[in-house]
Amino acid sequence: MKILVLNAGSSSQKSCLYELSNNTLPEQPPKPLWEASIDWTVASGFARLKVKANEVTQKEKWESNNRRMDIAKMLDSLSDGKTRVLEELSEIDIVGHRVVHGGAEYSEATLINPEVKEAIARLSVLAPVHNPANLEGIEAIETILGSSIPQVAVFDTAFHSQMPQKAAVYPIPYEWFEKGIRRYGFHGISHKYCAGRAAQLLGKPLDSLKLITCHLGNGCSLAAIKDGISIDTTMGFTPLEGLMMGNRSGSIDPAILIHLLKEYDFNAEQLDEMLNKNSGFKGISGISADLRTILEAIAQGNERAQLAFNIYIHRLRAAIGAMVASLGGLDALIFTAGIGENSSLVREEACAGFEFLNLKLDLNKNASSPVDKDIAAPDSAVRVLVVSTAEDWAIAQECWQILTKVRESKS
Ligand code: ADP
């Protein structure tokens, strides 16, 4: 079975192709046959394509005025040139898309039909950057591969759709909940994948575990997962709530916004820009949203960079504490994404807040660039895992399951 995965961001489109056996899914993520990404940020009005396949990496840049044509060009590299892995594009069996917002309607991956497309478009008001890009990818595939190719939407909100109401409803007038102002949670594909992988690594059934997954990348969120179900998470109505992030503030007192509106003549766009683009590591340090740059500045004695790091850890520990309380216990703490997978310092500092739970890190294991490993000390009461997140693989698995069911129902 050949599965194409599309993962669209605000200014990029990543894609990969998996070839899987029709009979069983491998336990661990296999290497994709082909990987590609288009970046529309390198220079204004230009697209840059990077393709990896057949042990070859190719890069190309062109003047761009039509993103769908750029996507078509990216897919051409599947059946053309040195990165060719298919005779023709019609060999692709199914296409999976990461879709950021599925609202309250979608609690699982879904075959795309006109109704699903309409819902993704309608939910664009809640994810104005991502949902339109996701829809663009879906429509580009319809144009390139024809409308009969099965396409699947895998929603970042779906994993949190079973959160109990006490975690999902904001304490504001209830009518707003009825109008859809509620906590949705994000990064669900990653949280779900990491929870499943952690259960595999621990050799225990997922439905017997209390887990906290820490997805720490440019965007950061935690999920409290009990018996395989997300019962609490730090992101809410939008991906702005919760932890401090690269350039997002995370949670702040909402009265600050009222104050800025009333006393400083801020408007909605300026507030949006401040909280989503100029806060977090970038806003405090004044240097960068990237943790690596912050750590370099700290090494050179930069106090604002140190403050940014201290706030990040303080808020991370506080949020882990909140998730422990929601779970009423903890079997494993799981770190993933750019910071979670690579920064031994963040893991060490985060864990240092939980020695009272008898959570003990093995500092040598923590420093050893662990991938899919338990880094807790043998006598720790809580396991600590580093899991390499594999969102594209998780999307491919959903596609495999859906297409297998469709084929079974036809035979
Ligand atoms: P995104 O959310 O955009 O997918 P990533 O998961 O790639 O982001 O995470 C990006 C973050 O990971 C950046 O803050 C970056 O500094 C951090 N990061 C990546 N590698 C390292 C490293 N070796 N040490 C510390 N931080 C790292």
- Per-residue pLDDT tens digits for 171-190: 999 999 999 999 999 999 99
Q: What is the pLDDT of residues 187-220, one digit of tens each?
A: 999 999 999 999 999 999 999 999 999 999 999 9
The verdict on the CB of residue 218 being under 6 Å from ligand 1 is yes
Place of tokens 């999902």: 168
| Residue 340 CB–ligand 1 contact under 6 Å | no
The Cβ of residue 94 has, within 10 Å, a number of other Cβ atoms equal to 21
156, 232, 362, 392: the catalytic one is 156
227 falls within a domain: yes
Q: What's the 174 CA to ligand 1 centre distance in angstroms? A: 38
Is the CB–ligand 1 distance for residue 343 below 6 Å? yes
d(CA 196, CA 326): 20
Strand order in the sheet with 229-233: 229-233, 220-226, 210-216, 332-336, 383-386, 373-374
CA contacts within 13 A on the Cβ side of 168: 19
In terms of domains, do 119 and 221 share one? no
Whether residue 62 has pLDDT greater than 90: yes
Helix or strand or coil: residue 36? strand
Contact by Cβ (8 Å): 223, 235: no
Q: Are residues 269 and 382 in the same domain?
A: yes
User: Cα 311 vs. chain centroid, distance in angstroms?
Assistant: 22
Q: Is the CB of 296 under 6 A from ligand 1?
A: no
Greatest Cα pair distance, the chain, in angstroms, is 68
Q: Is the CB of 338 under 6 A from ligand 1?
A: yes
Give exposure, 265-287, as e/b (b: 16+ Cβ within 10 Å).
ebeeeeeeebbbeebbbbbbbeb
Residue 365's alpha-carbon distances to 180, 225, 331, 361, 385, in angstroms, are 44, 25, 19, 8, 10
One domain, residues 67 and 137: yes
**Residue 360: φ, ψ to 5°:** -125, 125
Residue span of the structural domain in which 142 resides? 2-155
Buried b / exposed e along 289-309 (16+ C-beta atoms within 10 A): bbbeebeebbeeebeebbebb
**Same domain membership, residue 147 and residue 34:** yes
Q: What would the pLDDT profile of 272-290 be if each residue is shown by its tens digit?
A: 999 999 999 999 999 999 9
Q: Are residues 45 and 129 in the same domain?
A: yes
Q: What residues contact 13, with CB distance under 8 A and at least 6 apart? A: 6, 7, 37, 38, 67, 70, 71, 74, 133, 137
Per-residue burial over 360-381, b if 16 or more Cβ lie within 10 Å, else e, is: bbbeebbeeebebbbbbbeebe
For residue range 323-377, list pLDDT tens digits in order.
Answer: 999 999 999 999 999 999 999 999 999 999 899 999 999 999 999 999 999 999 9
Q: How far is the CA of 204 from the centre of ligand 1 (A)?
A: 29
The verdict on 151 and 229 lying in the same domain is: no
- The C-alpha atoms of residue 240 and residue 227 are separated, in whole angstroms, by 27
What is the mean predicted confidence (pLDDT) over 232-257?
97
Contact 144, 164 (CB under 8 A): no
Distance CA 91, CA 284 (A): 50
* Residue 22: pLDDT over 90: no
Q: Is residue 405 part of a domain?
A: no
Q: Are 58 and 81 spatial neighbours (Cβ–Cβ below 8 Å)?
A: yes
Residue 169 placed within a domain: no
Q: Is the pLDDT of residue 10 over 80?
A: no
CA 139 / ligand 1 centre spacing (Å): 31
Shared domain for 78 and 216, answered yes or no, is no
Question: Do the beta carbons of residue 386 and residue 344 sit within 8 Å?
Answer: no
What is the CA(25)–ligand 1 centre distance, in A?
29
pLDDT digits (tens, 9 = 90+) for 302-319: 999 999 999 999 999 999
pLDDT tens, residue by residue, 27-58: 889 999 999 999 998 888 999 999 999 999 99
104 within a domain of the structure (yes/no): yes
pTM as predicted: 0.95
Average the pLDDT over 142-148 and give the result: 94
pLDDT of 252 strictly over 90 = yes
Asked if residue 394 belongs to a domain, the reply is no
For residues 57 and 42, the answer to whether their CB atoms sit within 8 Å is no
- Please tell me the total count of domains within the chain: 2
Note whether 102 and 157 are within 8 A (CB). Answer: yes
Tell me how far apart the alpha carbons of residues 82 and 59 are, in angstroms, rounded to a whole number: 12
CATH of the domain at 285: 3.30.420.40
Is residue 245 within 6 Å of ligand 1 at its C-beta?
A: no
389 alpha carbon to ligand 1 midpoint, in Å?
12
Q: Whose CA is nearest to atom 21 of ligand 1?
A: 342
What's the gap between Cα 174 and its chain centre?
29
- The answer to whether position 214 is within a domain reads yes
Measured by CA distance, the residue closest to atom 13 of ligand 1 is 290
DSSP state at residue 32: P
Q: Which two tokens stand for residue 304?
A: 């604002």
What's the CA gap between 185 and 230, in Å, rounded? 10
Same domain, 247 and 338: yes
Q: Assess whether 214 and 354 both reside in one domain.
A: yes
Residue 193 located in a structural domain = no
Asked if residue 252 and residue 351 are part of one domain, the reply reads yes
| Mean pLDDT over the full length of the chain | 96
> Do residues 118 and 232 share a domain?
no
CA-nearest residue for atom 27, ligand 1, is 339
- Identify the band that residue 129 occupies on the pLDDT scale cut at 50, 70 and 90: confident
The H-or-E segment that residue 369 falls in is none
Task: Find out whether the beta carbon of 369 lies less than 6 Å from any atom of ligand 1.
Answer: no
Amino acid at 322: A
Of 186, 309, 339, 348, the one to substitute when testing ligand 1's pocket (max ligand atoms within 8 A of C-beta) is: 339
- The beta-strand segments (E) located in 227-267 are 229-233
The CB of 276 under 6 Å from ligand 1? The reply is no
Asked if 395 contacts 97 with a C-beta cutoff of 8 angstroms, the reply is yes
- Decide if 168 is inside a domain: no
Q: Are residues 214 and 143 in the same domain?
A: no
SS3 category, 62: strand
Identify the burial level of 226 via C-beta atoms within 10 angstroms of its C-beta, where 0-12 means exposed, 13-18 middle and 19 or more buried. middle
